[in-house]
Amino acid sequence: MTQTVELLAPAGDLDKLKMAIMYGADAVYLGGEAFGLRTSSKNFSLEEIKEGVKYSHERGKKVYITLNIVPHDEDLIGLEEYIKYLYDINVDAVIVSDPGMFSMIKRTIPELPIHISTQASVTNYETIMFWYDLGVRRIVLARELSFEEIKSITNRIPKDLEIEAFVHGSMCMSYSGRCLMSNYMTDRDANRGDCSQPCRYRYHVVEEKRPGEYFPVIEDDNGSFIFNSKDLCMIEYIERLVEAGITSFKIEGRVKSAYYVATIIRAYRIALDEYLKDPKNYIYNPQWLDELKKVSHRDFTTGFYLGKTDKDSQVYSSSSYVRGFDFVGRVLDYDPSSGIATIEQRNRIFVGDEIEVFGPNKEYFTQRVEKMWNDKGEEIEVAPHAQQIISIKLKKDIEKYYLIRKRKED
């Protein structure tokens, strides 16, 4: 019997949740306005969480809520009421890292499923069984485990325990994301959801007897980004991820765009479905990796999956992203009789541009923009204004919420 594998997507707001579901996610994880580790994402109000749960459940998908901060006493105020609300609107589980918060949830709503967060740094069988004996039925593994270590764990755990692991997205240079640099340097506590990402800063070395003399860590006048990790990408290893016993593939990126979420989820959905359809005859398609590179990203790494990381897991020259393509529009409506698509523009688009059009689980197609009209029906040569409503004739039938991109101009 083929193993069931969940594709788990980030949702930074309601729009991203809907895009993640449309583009192939089996479940989403999101944060409310408190208790989660991403204050820089828009996050969800109580009503938005309720709407997101309803939208997801109507489509047979699940919603998990992050409660994964490392809390101080003041951070626990209002937790019981929040938990009761989440239970009443039928969230599928909450994600927790702190034992005290775990105890409060168990005491308040014993029936509410709890997933143990990667922030809890679970790296061994004994810790897994500690949580299992307390009623936990899903563990999000620490990022610092290899395939061999994961397989050793999953060979021993009970059959009703699920293992979740990150397979794509930004990596933290600190152990399981437990960083103190942000708090020290900017007074913003990463473990309470307010990381300022000092790992992406540029650094020089100062020798104690030469104050004021700044030496680059490498021979580069711009300094060195010595803490700047590459992005995790495991799409080439779908088969090994499944064989290791991972039952939920987690994508990082709650602060990323809806275009990012749709593109990444779509690529992993296609790859995972191809594997699950016929595991014995599965063949990796390099085009899936090419798709992942069409969103803003850093260079890719396999993290710890293939063993201990080395110097090649860091980006030393820059903290900027690789941007090969621009997201230029989202389809709001489509008239199949005329082939005209109504589009909300997101980046400048010109008549004559070569564009790529793609939707959920479908191959993208390319075409040249031959004519373009504004919302008054007037023919235009360029759409330069953010979120401008335009119309373009497309050569193939599409649907609402398809996305349009073009290769970035040099």
Q: What is the DSSP string of 261-288?
A: HHHHHHHHHHHHHHHHH-GGG----HHH
Indicate the pTM of the whole model: 0.85
The pLDDT value given to residue 203: 62
Domain check: are 214 and 242 in the same one? Answer: no
Q: Are 379 and 371 in contact (CB under 8 A)?
A: yes
Q: Are 140 and 115 in contact (CB under 8 A)?
A: yes
Domain check: are 40 and 62 in the same one? Answer: yes
Tokens 């090969």: give the residue. Answer: 324
* Intervals of the chain under pLDDT 50: 1, 41, 219-221, 223-224, 313-314, 316-320
Residue 382, number of CB atoms within 10 A of its CB: 15
Distance CA 100, CA 69 (A): 11
Domain-terminating residue out of 307, 342, 370: 307
Average pLDDT, whole number, for the chain?
87
Q: How far is CA 135 from the centre of its chain?
A: 27
Structural domains of the chain, count: 3
Residue 14, number of CB atoms within 10 A of its CB: 18
pLDDT tens by residue, 20-51: 999 999 999 999 987 765 555 467 999 999 99
Domain check: are 292 and 337 in the same one? Answer: no
Domain check: are 212 and 280 in the same one? Answer: no
The pLDDT value given to residue 210: 73
pLDDT tens by residue, 223-258: 445 566 788 999 999 999 999 999 999 999 888 999
Going by C-alpha positions, the residue among 195, 193, 192 that lies closest to residue 181 is 195
The pLDDT value given to residue 33: 83
3-state SS, 126-172, equals: HHHHHHHHCCCCEEECCCCCCHHHHHHHHCCCCCCCEEEEEEEECCC
Domain check: are 152 and 233 in the same one? Answer: yes
Domain check: are 297 and 160 in the same one? Answer: yes
Residue 314 included in any domain: no
Domain check: are 162 and 21 in the same one? Answer: yes
Q: Which domain holds residue 340?
A: 325-407
Domain check: are 255 and 287 in the same one? Answer: yes
Domain check: are 19 and 85 in the same one? Answer: yes
Contacting residues for 120 by C-beta, under 8 A, at least 6 apart: 96, 97, 98, 140, 142, 176
Domain check: are 289 and 399 in the same one? Answer: no
Domain check: are 396 and 332 in the same one? Answer: yes
How distant, in Å, are the alpha carbons of 38, 120, 201 from that of 99? 20, 9, 32
Residue 184 included in any domain: no
CATH number at residue 354: 2.40.30.10
Domain check: are 44 and 149 in the same one? Answer: yes
pLDDT tens by residue, 128-143: 999 999 999 999 999 9
Residue 336 included in any domain: yes
Distance CA 405, CA 410 (A): 15
In the β-sheet with 365-368, what is the strand arrangement from edge to edge? 365-368, 354-358, 403-407, 325-335, 340-345, 389-393, 372-374
